């Protein structure tokens, strides 16, 4: 018996020992995979039981009981992928959760305090994904939008720092009125202009942005009425999150280089080319005597066999007046390696007392690729929210932004510094400011006016500074959980100063002996929005309603002063006291709008959703017909929630149909366009022993009957989610028709007015958009996600109010024909011109060719005589360039592997033409202009008549007019650009926590690293037209500021 007892005791002890080794106490930390920050409130359950815990505010947890080592823990958190982890021998875990791929759980912000789950959205809305916000390292907010959302086409004016942009959402919906979307920042709307050469969102620090939502169809945008015809971009800034206070510091620094250089002749190769011309055309002025090297041979080679004892430099200086024997690379002289610096610091948090705070300071500095140019921004933000009681919350948003531009940004003249650097004779001296002939070296003929591009950039001062303060106050009173009284008030003062000085030595100010300009403007905007919101559920029924009364005021004081006729320029821009001619023009305007808004959404089981809105707007821009009514209705059906779709649950996670209809309005016309006003005349008359300024009638005829331009939009959408939304597809088919266009029409000469604005005509945009988000691979250590979008838009002019056409002169000057013509049945952005018919290679072709304005010569371009009248004139103008793209899009891929992440984003534009007006000078040979390598061997001469380019002695580029647009200038503007490539690494927390640092991330970013394009010049993404022509005729290139490619290193530290 005793043996049995001892045996049982031994077995019990062994069993207890084994049990002890099969259980363990488990603790750990749960982190966000992208920020490496602790996630509070994560649920941790032991699989198969109800036992578990949640993480604290720092993301830490500890299970209260021992857990069998064979157990599996389930980690789940709203907005993140669920993760299961086997315990095994682990006692301390570090878990990283990936953001959920379920796009239907995303929150879409529509403005006026309205937030909706994407599953319940009935309109066409795009949301910029989190990867874009975290991996782009943008200087300006618009960089976050380019190519990232279907139907949003953003054209940068050029590659200058802080360059202006033209944003089109679903095509250009107007001709004379504005085509830019409405920007809403923290519920405060901003109207931007496509005519600004500077970026309208430059003052906003992209690092402060929490979300970017784009409302595209009329049923979504009608909520905003004024300016919403062209779409709405809703920007929400960051606020504090629950948990311990967070401190973040990020720095990105890098250098940039010229992205694409033109291959022009080196000084020596240029001299060799000119030597061949001299021999071919017996230009004896370049030869001292038979058998002795000519001027160009000596410049091409410092040593020539048989003349080693001859000092060529002395010969060139004494006999030809040439002192610059080495030549210049003008492009190198005016360009530089660029530098980009972006610093951001923020402090945020939220506590149990209802206080939420976010404060940030940012500094951005980018030097331009052209000397003496750049962009700088200093920004600060404070976002505060405080719960005063159970039912009352107040909020404050303060932002300060100071932006400064320097250099000739927005200078798109055909003879600007960029153009001069390509075409200027390389042997002109650097100190020859005006490019005056140096002996036999000159830039004569009708080529680019000779002027030192280096001197122009160094000695011309152009600065633009803006101070902007945005203050927003929010008040929310919720006596119940379903009823809210709210108020939002915004106050935005802006001070903008533009200073310009150009020396009288330069051509543009030679007639006025110098010119200085000071343009100072103070702009103040007010916005008041009291509103009522109801969000009530009745069983399976849910009603969400909002009513808003909105007041807006925008007032501006501006003084423009021009100084001319300087007696001295020794102090340059500070020589204003030396100017004898001073003209000052003050301007004041006050715009006021008032709106009444109502919106309601009915939801049954999140299956059937109906949304309706109505808005009444009154605008002081109109005289008589100030009121506009803009209704909208949309509906959605979540088909996948129907019982008859149960068979598809294993693979179909979402299927939603959407349909929408709405009307929006546009009032973006010049101030007081409908009033009869007078202007100060430039003519003076004697009166009372003095000279008084005359008053003249305004150029524009007053039309008090003008009213809202309206767009009627229809949208049909389909959203599909597959495999638990690991593949999400959203498509939209739309058709928008704008009627009562606010057209700025030309009036006949006998009317005594130049133009007038009338409501007449219509235009249509229709197209298809596709957006795809996919999680291609997801495991505990590796994730690959893709975002893809593509959009087709077709623009068509339906009516011009009975007029056959409306023309604009964009390239040509003087009496030349209009080169951009709007015609019924055609889209916007169509350039007209003559069609070239190759070269007149010999006398037989010359005899048979069409007579032109001047007699034809061999070696010149021929042109098609389309009407057979024997002349090449306005009647031969036909469509030669369609500058609107057939489709645009972008694709981004994000890869995560352990602590590494890689983000790559490409965007494209396909089917759009570019009108390269630089070719007017590039192919002009009669002067001493420099040339590109690719055309030298194709220049016509008597010995080589089968060539593609005009002869050296051709009278300018075309005999029918130097600035006529013609088919030679049209190139394919399609491109594929590697916009962003970023590689990052999160240093493991176990190395950083010992220094009290939550996370450290290092990254390398490349921007604009690769461009695939057939375009022959710097970059096909250009928009160098001016004013209204920029929206009517995108895709014009003439001396546009070149783009850079950037290489940047970044460091992110979080405490």
Question: Distance between CA 872 and CA 851 in Å, rounded?
Answer: 8
Listed residues 900, 932, 964: the one ending a domain: 964
Put simply, whether the predicted model's pTM sits higher than 0.75 gets the answer yes
Q: Residue 575 falls within a domain, yes or no? A: no
- Residue at 791 is within a domain: no
Q: Which of 941, 964, 987 is the last residue of a domain?
A: 964
Count of domains for the chain? 2
851 belongs to a structural domain: yes
Q: Domain of 65? A: 2-97
In a domain, 599, yes or no: no
Residue 93: inside a domain, yes or no?
A: yes
The distance from CA 343 to its chain's CA centroid, rounded to whole angstroms, is 21
- Give domain status of residue 677, yes or no: no
CA 127 to chain centre: 17
Q: How far is CA 518 from CA 275, 464, 511, 515, 574, in A?
A: 49, 10, 19, 10, 11
pLDDT reported for residue 273: 85
Instruction: Tell me which residues of the chain have a pLDDT lower than 50.
Output: 12-22, 444-448, 691, 853-854, 956-963
Residue where a domain stops, chosen among 964, 988, 1021 = 964
Q: What pairs with residue 887 in β-bridges?
A: 792, 910
pLDDT value at position 17?
44
Terminal alpha carbon distance of the chain: 67
Residue 834 per-residue DSSP state: B
Residue 958: the pLDDT is 44
For position 24, what pLDDT does the model report?
61
**What is the model's pLDDT at position 13?**
45
| Residues 915 and 879: beta-carbon distance below 8 Å | no
User: What would the DSSP string read from start to end of 231-246?
Assistant: -EEEEEE----BEEEE
541-550 confidence digits (pLDDT tens): 999 999 999 9
- Other beta carbons within 10 angstroms of residue 604's beta carbon come to 12
The answer as to whether 27 is a domain residue is: yes
Residue 77, in any domain of the structure: yes
Residue 603's pLDDT is 92
- CATH code: domain of residue 10: 2.60.40.1120
Please report which helix (H) or strand (E) contains residue 13, including its range.
helix 2-21
- Torsions phi, psi for 573 (to 5 deg): -70, -10
Q: Are 92 and 27 in contact (CB under 8 A)?
A: yes
676 CA to centre of own chain: 37
Query: How many angstroms separate the CA atoms of 918 and 395, rounded?
Result: 53
């Amino acid at each position: 018996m005793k043996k049995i007892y001892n045996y049982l005791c031994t077995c019990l002890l062994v069993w207890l020992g084994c049990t002890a080794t099969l259980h363990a106490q488990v603790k750990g930390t749960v982190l966000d995979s992208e920020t490496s920050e602790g996630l509070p409130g994560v649920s941790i359950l032991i699989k198969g039981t109800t036992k578990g815990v949640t993480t604290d505010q720092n993301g830490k947890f500890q299970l209260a009981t021992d857990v069998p080592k064979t157990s599996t823990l389930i980690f789940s958190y709203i907005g993140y992928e669920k993760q299961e982890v086997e315990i095994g021998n682990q006692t301390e875990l570090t878990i990283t959760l990936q953001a959920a791929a379920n796009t239907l759980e995303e929150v879409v912000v529509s403005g006026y305090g309205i937030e909706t789950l994407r599953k319940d959205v009935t309109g066409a809305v795009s949301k910029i994904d989190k990867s874009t916000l975290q991996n782009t390292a943008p200087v300006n907010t618009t960089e976050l939008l380019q190519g990232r959302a279907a139907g949003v086409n953003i054209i940068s004016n050029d590659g200058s720092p802080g360059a202006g942009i033209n944003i089109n959402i679903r095509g250009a919906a107007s001709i004379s009125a504005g085509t830019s979307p409405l920007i809403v920042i923290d519920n405060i709307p901003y109207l931007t202009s496509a005519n600004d050469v500077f970026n309208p969102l430059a003052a906003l620090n992209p690092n402060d942005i929490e979300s970017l939502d784009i409302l595209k169809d009329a049923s979504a945008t009608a909520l905003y009425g004024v300016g919403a015809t062209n779409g709405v971009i809703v920007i929400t800034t960051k606020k504090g999150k629950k948990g311990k206070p967070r401190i973040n510091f990020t720095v990105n620094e890098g250098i940039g280089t010229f992205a694409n250089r033109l291959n022009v002749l080196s000084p020596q190769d240029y001299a060799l080319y000119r030597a061949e011309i001299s021999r071919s055309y017996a230009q004896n002025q370049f030869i001292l005597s038979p058998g002795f090297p000519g001027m160009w041979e000596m410049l091409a080679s410092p040593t020539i066999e048989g003349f080693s004892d001859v000092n060529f430099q002395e010969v060139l200086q004494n006999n030809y007046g040439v002192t610059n024997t080495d030549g210049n690379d003008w492009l190198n002289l005016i360009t530089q390696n660029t530098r980009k610096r972006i610093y951001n610091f923020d402090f945020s948090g939220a506590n149990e007392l209802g206080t939420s705070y976010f404060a940030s300071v940012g500094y951005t500095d980018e030097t331009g690729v052209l000397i003496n140019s750049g962009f700088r921004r200093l920004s600060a933000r404070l976002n505060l929210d405080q719960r005063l009681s159970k039912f009352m919350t107040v909020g404050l948003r303060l932002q300060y932004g100071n932006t400064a531009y320097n250099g000739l940004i927005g200078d798109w003249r055909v003879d600007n510094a960029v153009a001069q650097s390509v075409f200027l004779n390389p042997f002109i001296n650097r100190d020859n400011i005006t490019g005056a002939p140096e002996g036999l070296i000159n830039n004569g003929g009708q080529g680019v006016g000779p002027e030192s591009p280096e001197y122009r950039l160094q000695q011309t001062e152009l600065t633009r500074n803006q101070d902007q303060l945005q203050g927003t106050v929010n008040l929310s009173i919720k006596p119940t959980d379903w009823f809210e009284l709210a108020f939002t008030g915004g106050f935005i003062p802006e001070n903008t100063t533009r200073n310009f000085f150009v020396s009288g030595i330069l051509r543009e100010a030679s007639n006025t002996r110098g010119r200085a300009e000071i343009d100072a403007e103070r702009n103040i905007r007010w916005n008041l929005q009291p509103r009522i919101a109801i969000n009530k559920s009745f069983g399976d029924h849910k009603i969400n309603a909002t009513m808003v009364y909105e007041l807006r005021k925008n007032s501006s004081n501006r003084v423009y002063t021009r100084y001319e006729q300087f007696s001295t320029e020794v102090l340059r821009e500070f020589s204003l006291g030396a100017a004898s001619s001073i003209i000052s023009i003050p301007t004041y305007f006050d715009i006021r709008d008032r709106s009444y808004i109502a919106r309601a959404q009915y939801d049954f089981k999140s299956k059937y959703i109906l949304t309706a809105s109505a808005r009444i707007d009154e605008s002081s821009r109109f005289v008589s017909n100030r009121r506009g009514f803009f209704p909208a209705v949309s509906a959605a059906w979540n088909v996948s929630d129907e019982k008859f779709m149960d068979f598809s649950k294993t693979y179909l996670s979402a299927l939603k149909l959407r349909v929408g209809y709405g009307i929006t309005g546009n009032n973006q016309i010049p101030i007081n366009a409908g009033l009869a006003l007078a202007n100060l005349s430039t003519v003076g008359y004697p009166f009372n022993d003095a000279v008084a300024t005359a008053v003249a009638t305004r150029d524009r005829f007053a039309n008090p009957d003008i009213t809202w331009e309206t767009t009627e939009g229809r949208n049909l959408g389909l959203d599909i989610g597959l495999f638990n939304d690991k593949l999400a597809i959203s498509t939209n088919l739309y058709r928008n028709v704008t009627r009562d266009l606010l057209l700025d029409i030309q009036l006949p000469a006998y009317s005594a007015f130049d133009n007038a604005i009338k409501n007449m005509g219509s235009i249509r945009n229709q197209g298809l958009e596709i957006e795809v988000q996919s999680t291609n691979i997801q495991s505990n250590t590796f994730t690959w996600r893709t975002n893809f979008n593509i959009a087709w838009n077709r623009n068509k002019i339906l009516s011009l109010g009975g007029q056959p056409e409306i023309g604009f002169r964009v390239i040509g000057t003087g009496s030349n024909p209009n080169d951009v013509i709007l015609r019924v049945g055609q889209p916007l952005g169509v350039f007209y011109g003559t069609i070239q018919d190759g070269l007149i290679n010999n006398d037989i072709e010359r005899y048979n060719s069409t007579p032109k304005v001047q007699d034809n010569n061999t070696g010149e371009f021929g042109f098609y005589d389309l009407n057979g009248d024997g002349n090449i004139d306005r009647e031969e103008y036909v469509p030669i360039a369609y500058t609107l793209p057939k489709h645009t899009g972008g694709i981004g891929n994000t890869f995560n592997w352990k602590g590494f992440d890689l983000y790559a984003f490409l965007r494209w534009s396909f089917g759009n033409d570019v009108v390269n007006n630089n070719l007017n000078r590039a192919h002009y040979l009669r002067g001493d202009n420099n040339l590109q390598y690719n055309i030298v061997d194709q220049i016509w001469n008597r010995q080589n008549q089968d060539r593609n380019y005009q002869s050296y002695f051709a009278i300018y580029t075309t005999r029918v007019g130097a600035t006529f647009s013609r088919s030679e200038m049209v190139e394919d503007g399609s491109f594929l650009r590697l916009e962003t490539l970023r590689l990052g690494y999160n240093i493991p927390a176990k190395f950083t926590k010992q220094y009290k640092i939550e996370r450290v991330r290092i990254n390398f970013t490349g921007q604009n690293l690769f461009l695939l394009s057939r375009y022959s010049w710097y970059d096909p993404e250009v928009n160098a037209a001016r004013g209204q022509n920029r929206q009517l005729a995108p895709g014009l290139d003439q001396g546009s500021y070149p783009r850079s490619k950037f290489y940047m290193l970044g460091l992110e530290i979080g405490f």
